[in-house]
Amino acid sequence: MGKSPVKILNPASVNLSERMNGNEPSRLIAECIAGNHAAIEMLVRQYETGVFRLALSILGDEADANEVTQETFIAALKSLKTYQEKKTFKAWLYTIALNLSRSHLRKRKIIERLKTTINSIFRVDSQKQSSPEDEVIRTEKEAAIWKELNKLDERHRTVVILRYFHELHIAEIAEIMSINEGTIHSRLHTARERLRDALLSMHGE
């Protein structure tokens, strides 16, 4: 397995993109069901990065995330005829990815690798100039947050990942996890309080 998300290459997708609006998933899905390879490539390219990042956030391993990404699109393409617009297509696809990721997680027991992988993905501040003192503070803060995050059970940890690392709306998370928005709010509140306590404890407050 490579370290990048699944790629399905087809030059015809360039022409298709000129004819089809990317904001019309129903039309794109219809083309995929009809066996249009260019449409399939377009669908994969449109969502593969998000699916890969989601899988990587859960699994903590690039090879496993790449495998889940491929499995997600294979499963989705096989099930496109059953897709109904009760959920957004993104939420439907992320649900598949989340379920497959959880399955891999249970089988391989690799949750301990989550911290290192997520930090490497979302270390946006590393591109900015900072003093050695700032770097130490940031590193200590990250360590404290991740230490507490890893203490959370999967249901609380998952909503934090979806909300803050993937910047999904509450409604989208509720769709993906098939639970009501109130439960999402409650789990986020609990998780935030624990993270907040961890930071206050680190600073002796």
161 and 73 in a common domain:
no
99 and 3 in a common domain:
yes
Q: What is the pLDDT of residues 143-152, one digit of tens each?
A: 666 777 777 8
Report the CATH number that the domain containing residue 113 is assigned in CATH.
Answer: 1.10.1740.10
191 and 114 in a common domain:
no
| Residue 142: predicted pLDDT | 65
Q: Which residue has the higher pLDDT, 69 or 102?
A: 69
- Give this prediction's pTM: 0.59
199 and 174 in a common domain:
yes
Residue where a domain terminates, one of 121, 153, 178: 121
Residue where a domain terminates, one of 121, 149, 167: 121
Q: Which residue has the higher pLDDT, 203 or 74?
A: 74
133 and 105 in a common domain:
no
Number of domains in the chain: 2
The DSSP secondary structure of 62-102, one letter per residue, reads HHHHHHHHHHHHHHHHHHGGG--TTS-HHHHHHHHHHHHHH
Q: What is the mean pLDDT of residues 130-151?
A: 62
200 and 161 in a common domain:
yes
The DSSP secondary structure of 4-54, one letter per residue, reads S------THHHHHHHHS-TT-HHHHHHHHHTT-HHHHHHHHHHHHHHHHHH
Report the CATH number that the domain containing residue 173 is assigned in CATH.
Answer: 1.10.10.10
Residue where a domain terminates, one of 97, 121, 145: 121
For residue 183, what pLDDT band results from cuts at 50, 70 and 90?
very high
Domain region containing 135 = 124-205
